[in-house]
Amino acid sequence: MEKGPAGASPWRLAARRLRRDKTSIAFGFVFILLVAACLAAPLWAEHVAHTTPEANHLSDTIEIDGETVNVVGFDGVPIGPTWQGEFFLGADGNGRDVMVRLLYGGRNSLLIGITAALLTTLFGVLAGLFAGYFRGWVDAVLSRLMDIIWAFPVILLGIALGTSLALGGLKIGPISIGGASLAIPILVISIVYIPYLARPIRGQVLGLREKEFVEAARAQGKGSLRIMFSEILPNITSTILVFFPLLVANAILLEAALSFLGAGVQPPEPSWGTMIDEGVERIVTAPTMAIVPGLMLVLTVLSLNVFGDGVRDALDPRAKVKVDR
């Protein structure tokens, strides 16, 4: 057993275990760096590359070592990495700066991944809490709903929802979302992952609701909502924290897969998925276009996976965490 100072809370012990896990901390730091780099996209675009993610430079030329080179050759082959401010990683088929698009695309990929994971967490925790606490018909309805979502392969449900919503957009009462809006992939991804969180939480809540402290709260006359949110919720926080990094990682991967297939982020809006899609089409002549966004994706997801493992080991090493793709 680990020895802590007398009265140290489990949270403090977990935080200390995580701090000692140098690898996890290092990868968590890598993730923060990636986020910071993507947030700084406008700075790079304006001060270093002097362009925007959408600007075409099809007929422009650029100076490299005193020589004038076309950004996109007469044969349609874009310039490769120049390793200088403008077109640092080369251009794509439309003469757009790959480095600038990579950073802006990263903003979209990360925004979608993190927002979708937050929404999944919100929906998943609510569904798990209500199903586990109220049981009976509430549980029956919610659990069947989870079973149905669970029955679909993640990617197929994503494609079905993604294409269907991209066609006409979405209109619920006063809220209207256009077909090309980023809100659509966010919504789609957050829905398909709900059961992966809701099911284990429901299981935990079923056990917790029988505990003495819940009974004590009920005896004090606390209402169901108060008990759920101030008594039970704090006890499932560690499960939520263990799941969250993995949800973000898988949401980012699913965004990339959906965008690659054309059912996620819609061009010309950049994301790592759409960039890989465009890159694979030109992989013979301009391989950087496909390789670089993929590397960013792998690095981001890897850092989240390693950090997520560290969080799990620190909080709850026995937790069974599984998120499908």
Partner 1 sequence: MARFIARRLASMVLVLFAVSVLTFLIFNVIPNGDPAVRMAGKQPTEQQIEAIRKEWGFDKNIVVQYGTTMKKLFTGDMVSYFTQLSVTKEIWKGLPRTLSLAIGAAIIWMLFGVALGLYSAMRAGGISDRLLTVLALIGISMPVFWIGALMNQYLGFELSNKLGFELFPNGGYVEFTDNPFEWFRHLILPWFALAILFIGVYSRVLRSNILDTVNEDFVRTARAKGLSERQVLLKHVLRNSLIPVVTLWGLDFAVVIGGGAILTETVFNLQGVGQYAADAIGQLDVPPILAVTMFGAFFVVFFNTVVDIVYAALDPRIRLESGETAT
- Which of 236/290 has CB closer to partner 1? 290
Cβ of 156: how many Cβ atoms within 10 Å?
Answer: 10
Task: State in angstroms the smallest separation of the CB of 79 from partner 1.
Answer: 19
CB of 148 to partner 1, least distance (A): 5
Q: DSSP H helical segments within the chain, as ranges?
A: 10-20, 22-39, 41-43, 98-134, 136-151, 154-168, 183-192, 194-208, 212-219, 224-226, 233-261, 272-281, 288-315
How, if at all, do strands 67-70 and 170-172 pair? unpaired
- Cβ proximity to partner 1: between 54 and 324 the closer is 324
Contact 274, 259 (CB under 8 A): yes
At residue 266, what are phi and psi to the nearest 5 degrees? -95, 130
**Three-class secondary structure of residue 58 per DSSP:** coil
Q: From the CB of 137, what's the least distance to partner 1, in Å?
A: 16
Nearest CB to partner 1, comparing residues 111 and 160: 160
Name the minimum Å distance from CB 64 to partner 1.
25
If the CB atoms of residues 22 and 47 are measured against partner 1, the closer one turns out to be: 22
Residue 151 or 219 having the CB closest to partner 1: 151
Q: Is-cis flag, bond preceding 245, omega within 30?
A: no
Q: How far is the CB of 30 from partner 1 (least distance, A)?
A: 12
Which lies closer to partner 1 via its Cβ, residue 125 or residue 304?
304
> What is the total residue count of the chain?
325
Q: Which residues bind partner 1 (CB under 8 A)?
A: 144, 147-148, 151-157, 159-161, 163-171, 249, 253, 256-257, 260-263, 276, 280, 283-284, 287, 290-291, 294, 297-298, 301-302, 305-306, 309, 324-325
